[in-house]
Amino acid sequence: MTSYLIGLVGTGIGPSLSPALHEREADELGLRYLYRRLDLDALAMPIGEVLAAARTAGFDGLNITHPVKQRVLPYLDEIAPEAAALGAVNTVVFREGLATGHNTDMTGFARNLTQGLPDADLDTVVLLGAGGAGAAVAHALLSLGAGRLIVHDVDSVRAGILVAGLRRRFGEERARAGSLDDLRTADGLVHATPTGMAAYPGSPVPAGALRPGMWVADIVYRPLETELLKLARERGCRTLHGGGMVVFQAADSFRLFTGAEPDADRMIRHFEALEGKPAHVR
């Protein structure tokens, strides 16, 4: 039986469903698959040292999450073109002595949005968060045909860097930096910061900034019912939680780690069994 040793690197990862999703799908495919959490707070080690230790210990791959999707880049031997364009990595594959970075957040978010909100108006979209996850979401939205993407981040420099990259790839008129005031005329909002996670409670947006008729997507999935989505539904907005995204990005990472083809629909059903709730909620 082929075996794999995989890890999840980040902070606040205790509630993550990634281990269960990966290991259950491996069982279905007849693979031996051990998935371990490598919490940066518990390890008290910088990402470069964690990466080196995982390589030495014989890990086959790592999923990378908040807050090191961008910090991991200097410690990789190779970066796949799509991940390089995003400037963020959420999947590292160890093979033939090399550590190669990939990004499955972009494809995971795109598939979640098209399945969960297939008729979402993408004329003007506000993106909250310009970190590693935000970069993936930004590229996904513009690749899906968003007319104009307005990026807001508490770190204006980081937002500016992301916008500059988006303009180079998609055109000057497709992206700009902005603020929450832009929600007054936006068709949709995507939230891509840790706010709302179990370890970072609260909403990044006041209820008064949300309008009936808008759609609101959150990449957070633990909990599925974030404060932002609760407020959005109360204001009459259609909503999409991050459950589908975590499944689809996990399926793409699983494929990179093993070379085997996961059944994403089966993984969705497993997610729903674990959560007791549907993977797509409008």
69 catalytically annotated: yes
The conformation of residue 208, written as its DSSP 8-state character, comes to G
Interhelix angle 132-143/156-170, rounded to 10 degrees, is 30
In the block, tokens 């230790």 appear at: 53
- 21 touches 271 (CB < 8 A): yes
d(CA 223, CA 188): 21
Closest CA to 134 of 204, 199, 79: 204
Of 22, 24, 69, 222, which is the active-site residue? 69
Q: Helix %, strand %, coil % for the chain, to 5?
A: 45, 20, 35
d(CA 25, CA 162): 35
Q: What is the largest CA-CA distance in the chain?
A: 56
Q: List the structure tokens of 172.
A: 């000057």
Position 52, amino acid: A
d(CA 163, CA 135): 9
43 φ, ψ (degrees, to nearest 5): -75, -30
- 239 touches 281 (CB < 8 A): yes
Position 248, amino acid: F
Residue numbers annotated as active site: 69
